Amino acid sequence: MAYSKKVMDHYENPRNVGSFSNSDTNVGSGLVGAPACGDVMKLQIKVNNKGIIEDACFKTYGCGSAIASSSLVTEWVKGKSITEAASIKNTTIVEELELPPVKIHCSILAEDAIKAAIADYNSKKK
Ligand code: FES
Ligand code: FES
């Protein structure tokens, strides 16, 4: 199966690989796994006091499409409000990366990871 140019680009040059300290109350962390293949994705956001995501990073143990999906999402959420970021759909990731049907679950992993990171951030703020 051929990977699209965009997947290869994110795979070769992943954006925002890394991690933030989870003890920081402005950091939300999402850790999700794909039952279909066992891949694991960690996505973190750093939110300012206006509710804007100032920074994001990820670590993905998984296939090229999962790495590309998480890399893309960290780029997309920077500068967005947490509400905007929560509305990112896996179908938009599929379109952007031209993922084939067998790789759709990789994009769902990225949607789940950003949602989990936002939920974690919100729970810390309570
Ligand atoms: Fe092998 Fe995901 S199934 S990396
Ligand atoms: Fe399972 Fe991509 S995340 S194959």
Q: What is the pLDDT along the chain (126 residues), one digit of tens a residue?
A: 578 999 999 999 999 999 999 899 999 999 999 887 889 999 999 999 999 999 999 999 999 999 999 999 999 999 999 999 999 999 999 999 999 999 999 999 999 999 999 999 999 988
Q: Which two tokens stand for residue 29?
A: 């962390």
Q: Is 57 a catalytic residue?
A: no
Q: Is 37 a catalytic residue?
A: yes
Q: Which atom of ligand 2 is nearest to the CA of 62?
A: 3
Q: Tell me how many domains the chain contains.
A: 1
Q: For the chain, list the strands marked E by DSSP.
A: 27-33, 40-47, 53-61
Count of CB atoms situated within 10 Å of the CB of 39: 19
- Which residue, 22, 31, 34, 6, is CA-closest to 116? 31
Provide the residue type at 79 as one letter: G
Q: Which two tokens stand for residue 63?
A: 């296939």
Q: Write out the residue range of the structural domain in which residue 18 sits.
A: 5-125
Tell me the CATH number at 23.
3.90.1010.10
Q: Which two tokens stand for residue 80?
A: 């967005």
**Is the ipTM here above 0.85?**
no
**CA angle, corner 54, sides to 5 and 122, nearest 5?**
105
